[in-house]
Amino acid sequence: MPIKTWELDPNFKNEIMSEAGGERLASCFQCSTCTLGCPIAEIVPGYNPRKIIQMSLLGMRDEVLSNPDLWICLICQTCTARCPQDVRIADVMGALRRIAEREEEAGKLKIDSPRPLFDKAFQHQLKKFGRLYDMGLAMEYYPKKEGSFIKGMLAMMKDYKDFGMRMFLKGKMGPLGGGSPVKGMLASKIKQKDVMKKIFEELGEEGKEK
Amino acid sequence: MSVNKLAYYPGCPSEATAIEQHMSTEAVFEKLGVELVEVEDWNCCGAAEVEDPRVVYALNARNLAIAEKEDLDIVTPCSICYYNLERSNKALRADEALRTKLRGIDSSLDYNGTIKTKHVLDVFVNDIGLDEISSKLEKKVNVKVAPYYGCYIGRPPETAFDDPDNPVLMDKLIELIGGEIVPNFNYMKTVCCGGPLMMTRGDIAFDMARKILDVAKNAGADCISLACPLCGMMLDGKQADIEKALDVTIGMPVVYITQLLGLALGIEPKKLGLNKNAVDTKEILGMVV
């Protein structure tokens, strides 16, 4: 479909370049090295980081921010390592994801991926305990992803029943796992949890709203 | 040997899904005569899920500051923790204003930028050294290995400590302990395992992990060796799920490099957590002579 030049946002590239990680966007000269080495592009038809960069430079703000492909980047850094222009594509994608999340929070966009929910649940667990708590993360993420507690638990069981049992039998998670009677089953908490709270409140997305 | 004491950052999976990596790391360093002092009350590095770099820097400033108080460089067995520690260390060293800002948030984030951050592979090969390790070997680990490095050992350039396309540190250790590197696996060494998408796009993650497992199997490997707990969760922990979902049979043992090295150093398999890997490792144990 042709680009509607009158709908382009000439300021979009500046918006990205003022976001941490997005600074080097304008150095791209469209060589496609990022896409040729991308392991996702090998599996998902049409996935094209070069195109996302060019659309960003042109100012196709809505198309870029609502593109579900932003959320299947692995941050594996292959593109960043190979880019001859040091665009830091993996970091640019991160900057785009954060802008998209803010747009969604402002009610201007609907993100077509459960990944922001997962990242938020992870950060929430981290803020609460100071360490990753696998089971707590799954219990928080699945209900949000599925839209209800019951549906969430069913989906979690479908994905993780066998895995959980395997980890339990190997003594990694569950009542007898992890070198202590309840490791993995209960959260491992750090003493200075208050510092985690301060970090997220001062620097995280919550801090920005203040 | 230029190193005898290090601060140890185990990372969150060390308490659950990658406990065998934690056990084998501690056992190997003990045998090599390097004392590990666990970073007291360490917190999560932010993994791949905390995307805002400033939050990552703050989270890691706390861990770095704790090690700095002991005047010890930090070592971690996890590639993602290493990436976050190292990039935070670099950012904090270079940016006085950032350090001041973090100090203002909490005194525990007061880091002066005086220590180094290292991945275990880097410490084994470049600090302790192959000669020193060689002098302590007790057994030959006669296995054919597909050395899988994943993302953060050779990438991104500013934190990498090995080649981005053909890393060799793990290969060197495997050859040192009597193992053989399988041919035709090199091009998979650094292709992402799919781990970061496991919870949100499991279908893509399974396809990616399966490729690595298939290539290792076709190359005739007895096992895959790793240096990252997320790769471990994907290739070992989820292997049976991948087999079921994609209707394939793989049966490929996956071990941490610290487990293989531990076997060569004559450490008891149980102390290396070799009974905790999801895919059975008994066949590997039979190849240690």
Q: Do residues B34 and B111 both lie within one domain?
A: yes
Q: Do residues A78 and A133 both lie within one domain?
A: no
Q: Do residues A97 and A136 both lie within one domain?
A: no
CATH number of domain containing B200: 3.40.50.11810
Higher pLDDT, B103 or A205: B103
Q: Do residues A17 and A88 both lie within one domain?
A: yes
The pLDDT score that the predictor gives to residue A207 is: 53
Average pLDDT over residues B65-82: 97
B11-32: pLDDT as tens digits: 999 988 999 999 999 999 999 9
In a domain, A159, yes or no: yes
Mutation target for A interface from B25, B199, B207: give the one with most A CBs within 10 A: B199
In a domain, A50, yes or no: yes
Residues of chain B numbered 144-203 and touching chain A (CB < 8 Å): 151-152, 154-157, 160, 164, 190-192, 194-197, 199-202
The pLDDT score that the predictor gives to residue A175 is: 58
In a domain, B127, yes or no: no
Asked if the model's pLDDT at residue B2 lies above 90, the reply is no
**Model confidence at B136, in pLDDT bands (50, 70, 90)?**
very high
The pLDDT score that the predictor gives to residue A144 is: 95
pLDDT over 70 percentage in chain B: 100
Q: Do residues B147 and B48 both lie within one domain?
A: no
Mean pLDDT (chain B) is 96
Average pLDDT over residues B139-161: 97
Range of the domain at A144: 115-209
Give B156's contacts in chain A (Cβ within 8 Å).
77, 80-81, 88, 90
Q: Do residues A87 and A174 both lie within one domain?
A: no
Give A159's contacts in chain B (Cβ within 8 Å).
202
Residue A153 DSSP class: H
Say if B51 is an interface residue toward chain A (CB within 8 Å).
yes
Q: Do residues A164 and A196 both lie within one domain?
A: yes
Cβ-contact B278, B237 below 8 angstroms: yes
Residues of chain B numbered 217-256 and touching chain A (CB < 8 Å): 237-238, 240-241, 244
Tokens of B85: 């520690």
Q: Do residues A94 and A186 both lie within one domain?
A: no
Q: Do residues B42 and B182 both lie within one domain?
A: no
CATH number of domain containing A73: 1.10.1060.10
B51: number of Cβ within 10 Å: 21
The pLDDT score that the predictor gives to residue B188 is: 97
Q: Do residues A135 and A64 both lie within one domain?
A: no
Which residues of chain A are modeled with pLDDT < 70? 174-185, 205-210
Q: Do residues A96 and A177 both lie within one domain?
A: no
In a domain, A79, yes or no: yes
Cβ-contact B141, B287 below 8 angstroms: yes
Q: Do residues B108 and B243 both lie within one domain?
A: no
Cβ-contact B153, B225 below 8 angstroms: no
Q: Do residues B103 and B172 both lie within one domain?
A: no
In a domain, A92, yes or no: yes
Q: Do residues B168 and B213 both lie within one domain?
A: yes
Nearest to B183 by CA among B218, B235, B158: B218
B181-216: pLDDT as tens digits: 999 999 999 999 999 999 999 999 999 999 999 999
Beta-carbon separation of A131 and B43 below 8 A = yes
Q: Do residues B92 and B163 both lie within one domain?
A: no
Last residue of one domain, picked from the residues B91, B120, B149: B120
Say if B49 is an interface residue toward chain A (CB within 8 Å).
yes
Last residue of one domain, picked from the residues B75, B96, B120: B120
In a domain, B89, yes or no: yes
B161-189: pLDDT as tens digits: 999 999 999 999 999 999 999 999 999 99
Cβ-contact A96, A64 below 8 angstroms: yes
In a domain, B94, yes or no: yes
According to DSSP, the β-strands at B74-76 and B180-181 are: unpaired
Q: How many structural domains is chain A composed of? A: 2
In a domain, A110, yes or no: no
Q: How many structural domains is chain B composed of? A: 2
Asked if the model's pLDDT at residue B75 lies above 70, the reply is yes
Asked if the model's pLDDT at residue B79 lies above 70, the reply is yes
Q: Do residues A132 and A171 both lie within one domain?
A: yes
Q: Do residues B95 and B19 both lie within one domain?
A: yes
Range of the domain at B35: 5-120
CB environment A105-141: b (16+ within 10 A), e (fewer): eeeebebebbbbbbbbbbbebbbbbbbbbbbbbbbbb
CA angle A131, B68, B131 (to 5 degrees): 95
The pLDDT score that the predictor gives to residue A184 is: 60
Q: Do residues B71 and B196 both lie within one domain?
A: no
The pLDDT score that the predictor gives to residue A171 is: 82
Asked if the model's pLDDT at residue B1 lies above 90, the reply is no
